[in-house]
Amino acid sequence: MEALVTTEWLASELGASDLRIVDATYLAADAGRDAAAEYEAAHIPGAVFMNLAELRDTDTDLPMMLPSAEKFASRMQSLGLGDGSRIVLYDSSPWHTSARAWWMLRTFGAHDVAILDGGLAKWQAEGRETASGKEQLRHRHFTVWADDKGVRTLEQMKANIDTGAEQVLDARSKARFTGEEPDPRPATHAGHIPGSRNLPYDRIFNEDGTWKQGDALRTAFEGTGIDVDKPIALTCGSGITASTLAFGLHLLGKDAALYDGSWSEWGADRSTPKAMGAA
């Protein structure tokens, strides 16, 4: 299974015994939408709902930190996702949150994971079948395992300011990155991590919501001054849209680390340096 699959491919695979389809839509509390309710109203047949709002570390004030490996494995088992599953993720979020689910699954040991190109919008636009209500899948064993080599902490990012061992790429909007627009979180400074570059996450998508690929995707990254062949650490507001950049780099055959605390942590920490203006 490719990392990015088409609606045609998924339609042909529906009903396969090892295939698990997951709606990973996450929406902000003030979005005026209810992701769970939308899932129950219409989802790809067989899909289960992964509640990213709850699939996080609830012992921290930071919004979207990774949960423990045990919590993650337990939630995956209850969704019917387990060892040996081929998992296809989709969403209907403006932030393309299936990429966050993809990054989490890979961090916690799932390897056969893909994203549906164009998501639910493309599936429905093509007149394909949807189901309503909830899907019931039997529990499957998901091995408790975690690999933090692709996760960056506050201390590691502070150290990187001095070493420059990794390029830092920020997925937030230009206005948030430069500090022209204040951060929406209370007591959080505006600006960006010194030395970082900016690639707003929406720049790696086509107008129809599908992912850019090949030269167009590479150009988006390299246009920021980033060398995709050298180590990269990704950041954003809370670790969600940085995941889209991680998946984009994966499509180019590159692995990147992700700073999970992102600006929610860096911007609120008085000990961290902040830069303003363009990179």
Residue 236 annotated in active site: yes
Q: Which domain holds residue 96?
A: 4-146
pLDDT for 64 beyond 90? yes
Phi, psi of 197 (to 5 degrees): -110, 170
User: Which two tokens mark 121?
Assistant: 């919008």
Residue 108 sits in the same domain as residue 169: no
pLDDT tens, position by position, 199-230: 999 999 999 999 999 999 999 999 999 999 99
pLDDT of residue 28: 87
> Residues 120-137: what's their mean pLDDT?
96
Contact yes or no for 90/120 (Cβ under 8 A): yes
Average pLDDT, the chain: 96
Examine residue 278 and state whether it is found in any structural domain, yes or no. Answer: no
**Which of 146, 176, 193 is the last residue before a domain boundary?**
146
Q: Which of 48, 236, 242, 245 is catalytic?
A: 236
Q: What are phi and psi of 272, to 5 degrees?
A: -95, 145
**pTM for the structure as a whole:** 0.97
Look at residue 261 and tell me if it is in a domain.
Answer: yes
pLDDT score for 5: 98
Q: What is the DSSP string of 136-161?
A: ------------GGGEE-HHHHHHHH
Instruction: Evaluate whether residue 275 is within a structural domain.
Output: no
214 in the same domain as 91: no
State residue 137's pLDDT score.
Answer: 84
Spatial separation of the C-alpha atoms in residues 62 and 234, rounded to whole Å? 17
CB 35 within 8 A of CB 105: no
Distances (CA, A) of 167 to 112, 162, 197, 212: 28, 12, 8, 22
Write phi, then psi, for 54 (nearest 5 degrees): -100, -15
Length of the chain: 279
The answer to whether residues 18 and 130 belong to one domain is yes
What is the per-residue pLDDT across 42-58, written as a single tens digit (0 to 9) for each?
A: 999 999 999 999 999 99
Structural domain count, the chain: 2
Sign of the Cα torsion 64, 66, 105, 50 reads: negative
The token duo for 102 is 């993809």
Report the CATH number that the domain containing residue 136 is assigned in CATH: 3.40.250.10
Same-domain pairing of 208 and 110: no
Q: Nearest CA to 55 among 101, 112, 114, 113?
A: 101
